[in-house]
Every structure is written in structure tokens, then in C-alpha cells.
Amino acid sequence: EGGGDMAASAAGDAEDLCSPEVGELALLGLAPSAPSCPHGPALLFVKTSQGKKEGRRFYACSACRDRKDCNFFQWEDEKVSETRLAAREEYNRNHQPSFTHRQNVERYKNFLLLPLSKRRFCQECQQLLLPAEWEKHVDHQSLCGISTAQLQSPSQLLYPLENKKTNAQYLFADRSCQFLLDLIINLGFRRVLSVGTPRLHEMIQSKASQEDSRVRSLLLDIDFRYSQFYTEDEFCHYNMFNHHFFGGEVARETCRTFLYQDNGERVIMVTDPPFGGLVGALASSFKKLMSMWKEAEKGHSNQEMPVFWIFPYFFESRILDFFPSFSMMDYQVDYENHALYKHGKTGRRQSPVRIFTNLTPSMIVLPVEEGYRFCSICQRYVSSGNQHCEICNSCTSKDGRRWKHCVLCKKCVKPSWFHCNICNCCALQNHTCETIATGCFVCGKAGHKRSNCPSLSHT
């Protein structure tokens, strides 16, 4: 799943990707003739400086914002020699997984036939081992006696990939995962397109094997390790930053088939991207997945595929830029292996992660026993601290605390903020006025930081 520290987008890595001058990166999108790295087609960027014209355009890896993880770089107008192209193709081939998905499925079948005493998992290589492979891994630390229950919970068996900008595998806490699944079932959905949500996928898979559950899930994830545990109908190796199916047209068709609703079964997409990812790149991929659904659902051309996008509340304006039909729910999503994003009762201890959805807010029933209540005026469930403001005519809190209305700003603000007459807006009491007055580095306007500038990530 997603999870991660406050997203920094690509802007923070401008100096890594191009010249040492101070500047910002703007995402231009996925070009038709884009070169590829091991993570699929690269994205096109341009470096900009405040008050200056656009710089030179270049391609960089779609998934990795840190050059230590993938150092792919190419100027858009650069002529690449045949020798360099051949070397790049060789490099991309050498950085593919050792086994194909189909080979992993066969290996898994053979692994299940082994007695418990011979079931080993190499922790160093993150790989299920067959007896003939033990010798190669003799110096590696291994887990022995892998049970069927462990195989059905691979997210607990595998080490989380904790690179915050590429993978950021902070997994849903059981509380949030169970809530999401119950909500999905109660809303009448029977198919879940799980984009970067392995914990939710395995909970659905586990319930399907234990009871007469009609809910099915297809996991799309960049972490190829999951191919060791799921068939080609249950998992597709997928990069959500460039809508790339590593399995090619076969995998794309698997996804398309899954999205086709038969017997009246309804589909919902649930996605939990890394919080350090580019919102524009993610939105572009999600729109393409939604288009795939629309093509399958020929009779519902005016409808949108139902979506739960799980992301921090401070990205609300960015998400609404791309999806005006979405709204943010008050439910706080928790992660079991994240120090900050866990369930808390008050203030800063509360998780900032929310559910953005295009479903009618009144349909999303939040648990009363966890402090949520229904606001009859807003026609949606809100947290107990989110009090309705009569002036704004809305439950205005974003972070779970009770916000206060500022008459001068003509809106509700955080309780710790006070109106500053110099800045002509509300801010923390000990803020530096000069910093706020300068405004955003990219567009020069006040009210947002450069990493959240609306000018960025727009094609």
C-alpha cells in the first residue's frame, strides 16, 4: 500500500535530475515515443525557474524520484546512438525479475506439494525456495516451515520496501482494512480492482478461500514479489505512475476482462499510492483505468467507475483539480508499520490519511463507535471534532480537530492559526511574515507551498 511521509513530488529532486541551478520540475506527462527504463516508459519533465521561461525538457524514470534507485535520464531532443540504445535494452533486460510470472505460479504449485519441513523462504532474496535451490542460498538467512496461513498473507512474509518515494509499502492496519472491506461489501461491490493495496487484496483472497464469499480482487502492483503467491488472474505487475503493464497485452487484457461486469456484479477501484508520488502522473493512470472500465460498460457511458483513492488530506485540492466529482471522507486510514499514521484520539496523533471517492458521501457510513457521526445538513458522516460551521454552512475540519471561523479570511482555519494583518491571512502565531509574503517559488502566489503549486504536474 501507499503510505509515506509528506509527499515532496519531483520538485525536491530537481538538482539531482538536471543542472545545479535552483529550480522546479513540472510534469508534462507520458509522450508517445518515450524511452524506457526497467520501470517502463519514462515521463517527460521540464525544469522551470521563477519568472523565467521553460528550460530544456527531459525524460526521467516514472517510478523513482531518487536517482539512487533508477538513474535513467535523457534530454528530449537528444540523439541517442545505436550503441547506447543497445546497451540500454541490455540493462533493462538484466534488471528484470529472475523468473516470469508463469514460472512463479508453477514454482508455487510445487512448493505447496512439499512437506512443511521442506518449505523454506529466503529472507535475503525474498524468494520461496524449492529443495534444489537450497545450496545457492546456504549463506542466506531463511525461514523454515512456511505454513499455508503464511502463504495466504504474503504482505506479512515479505519485507516492506520502505523507499518512501518509489514503493513506500506502509500496509493498512487490520482495523482500516476490515473497515474498507466491510464498506465495499455493504455498498454492493463484488469486484475490487486493488491498485497498490496488497493487504486488502490478500484479505479478500483469504475470505474467499475460507467461506462462501462472492467478492473477487485483482491486484495491480509494482512489487513483482507478489507474483510468487498469486496466479496471472489474481495479480498484474503494474506501474501506477505510467499505466504500464509489465506483462504486456496479456496482462492488460486480464485487467480489462476483470473490469467487465457480468451477472450484475459491481466493480470498485481501491488505490493507495506512495504519498511521495506525483499526483498528476497518478491521476493520468487512474483515468486510463477508469476508461478501460467505461469501454467494458458500454451501457453506462455517463457514469464514472467507482473509486476509493486513499491519500493525505492536504492533497485535497490537487486531487479535486483532476477529479472534480470526488469528495473527501473524514475516515482516518491507519497503517500498521508507520510511526505517525496510526489511529489516535486527538490532534496531531490522528492519521492525516483519508478516502477520496466519487460515490455519494451519504452512502459512506463511518463507524459511530469510533467517534464518527452523521451531519444531517452536510449529508455525510464526519469525525466527532468536526463541528458544522453555520457561516461556511459546512463541516470544515480536515484534520479531525475543531476548526474556527476567521471573519477576515472568510473561511474556517486550524485552531492553532491566528490572523496576521501583515500577511492578510491566518497562519501559526510564530510564523515569519517575510516567508509567507514571498509566496510560492513557482508561480509567486501566496497560500500554498511550491510542492503543491497548481502549476506543477499539469500537461
Give me the sheet containing 142-144, strands edge to edge: 127-129, 120-122, 142-144
Q: What is the pLDDT of residue 236?
A: 97
List, for residues 212-224, the tens digit of each pLDDT value: 678 999 999 999 9
Q: What angle do CA 384, 389, 395 make, to 5 degrees?
A: 45
Distance, in Å, from the CA atom of 398 to the CA atom of 414, rounded to the nearest integer, reads: 9
Distance, in Å, from the CA atom of 84 to the CA atom of 162, rounded to the nearest integer, reads: 32
> At 299, is the pLDDT very low, low, confident or very high (cuts 50, 70, 90)?
low
Q: What is the pLDDT of residue 171?
A: 84
**pLDDT at 180 exceeding the cut of 90:** yes
Q: What is the pLDDT of residue 161?
A: 65
Query: Based on the number of CB atoms within 10 Å of its own CB, is 445 exposed (0-12), middle (13-18) or buried (19 or more)?
Result: exposed
Number of other residues whose CB lies within 10 A of the CB of residue 289: 22
Second CATH level (architecture) for the domain 174-384: 3-Layer(aba) Sandwich (3.40)
Q: What is the pLDDT of residue 12?
A: 32
DSSP three-state, residue 296: helix
| Domain positions in the chain | 23-95, 101-146, 174-384, 406-458
Mean pLDDT of the chain: 84
List, for residues 56-75, the tens digit of each pLDDT value: 899 999 998 777 889 899 99
List, for residues 322-343, the tens digit of each pLDDT value: 999 999 999 999 887 544 445 5
Q: What is the pLDDT of residue 13?
A: 35
Distance, in Å, from the CA atom of 389 to the CA atom of 184, rounded to the nearest integer, reads: 30
Q: Which of 178, 186, 176, 234 is nearest to 3 (CA)?
A: 176
How much of the chain, in percent, has pLDDT values that exceed 70? 81
**pLDDT at 1 exceeding the cut of 70:** no
Q: Kindly state the cell numbers that stand for 192.
A: 475490487
List, for residues 189-240, the tens digit of each pLDDT value: 999 999 999 999 999 998 877 766 789 999 999 999 999 999 999 999 999 9
Distance, in Å, from the CA atom of 39 to the CA atom of 245, rounded to the nearest integer, reads: 10
- Which of 3-17, 99-113, 288-302 tops mean pLDDT? 99-113
Task: Tell me the helix, strand and coil percentages in the chain, rounded to 5.
Answer: 30, 20, 45
DSSP for residue 179:
H
pTM for the model stands at 0.85
Taken in order 245, 248, 249, 250, the sign of the CA dihedral is negative
Q: What is the pLDDT of residue 64?
A: 85
Buried b / exposed e over 405-431, threshold 16 CB at 10 Å, is ebeeeebbbbeebeebeebebbbeeee
